[in-house]
């Protein structure tokens, strides 16, 4: 059983329809730097604990790490960047980093997405991320605005793939429609069809 579990972690699967290869098990980093929900730095765990967890995950063959600009108000991205730079020896396979954009109500144009991405890249110490997602839908702007912003990020070479998180079926379809119309800039992660389990049930008849 242990050998089977180890092999599962060492295997690599495609991220959506992209050529990016990730471990089936990834590490989410919401807790990293978050004091409000997870009591970071308040006696329960600290940077040393997180660094040890990062190194243990990499040593086990996990190469996929997911963070977001809102996790710890950016602290999660900063810590992940620090750990990646100081990891010694380097991981056996390249690490895959995903982060997310929060469409706060005061962000009122697609340019805000690329601006936020650049801040995330600075905290991570990277020139691009492998996956960039809209974290969740927040009014007042429609999904088409942020889909266009994701296409801008791809066009500037700041991301390898893009996606969305916590979207409804309708918003996912509208986001995909923007990609379909943009023949010059493709959005790899958005090519994946909607999974059957999230499709809304159709009325009888």
d(CA 162, CA 179): 11
Q: Where would I find the H helices in the chain?
A: 2-10, 47-59, 75-86, 111-124, 143-155, 169-181
How much of the chain is in helix, strand and coil states, percent to nearest 5? 40, 15, 45
Using DSSP's 3-state secondary structure scheme, residue 86 falls into helix
Write down the catalytic residue from 71, 104, 132, 167.
71
Sign of CA pseudo-dihedral 105, 108, 109, 114 = negative
Q: In what order do the strands lie in the sheet with 64-66?
A: 27-28, 64-66, 96-101, 129-134, 159-164
d(CA 13, CA 24): 6
Place of tokens 């730097």: 33
Any catalytic annotation for residue 40? Answer: no
Catalytic sites, residue numbers: 71
């Amino acid at each position: 059983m242990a050998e089977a579990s180890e092999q599962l972690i060492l295997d690599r699967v495609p991220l959506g329809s992209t050529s990016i290869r990730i471990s089936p098990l990834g590490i989410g980093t919401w807790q990293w730097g978050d004091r409000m929900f997870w009591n970071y730095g308040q006696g329960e765990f600290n940077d040393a604990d997180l660094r040890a967890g990062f190194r243990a995950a990499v040593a086990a063959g996990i190469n996929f790490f997911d963070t977001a600009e809102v996790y710890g108000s950016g602290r999660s991205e900063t810590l992940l960047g620090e750990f990646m730079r100081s990891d010694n020896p380097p991981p056996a396979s390249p690490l895959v980093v995903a982060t997310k954009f929060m469409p706060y109500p005061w962000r009122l144009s697609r340019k805000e997405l690329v601006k936020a991405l650049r801040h995330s890249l600075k905290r991570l110490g990277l020139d691009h991320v492998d996956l960039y997602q809209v974290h969740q839908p927040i009014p007042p702007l429609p999904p088409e605005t942020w889909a266009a912003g994701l296409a801008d990020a791809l066009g500037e070479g700041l991301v390898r793939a893009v996606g969305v998180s916590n979207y409804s079926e309708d918003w996912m379809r509208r986001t995909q429609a923007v990609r379909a119309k943009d023949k010059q800039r493709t959005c790899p992660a958005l090519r994946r069809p909607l999974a059957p389990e999230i499709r809304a049930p159709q009325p009888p008849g």
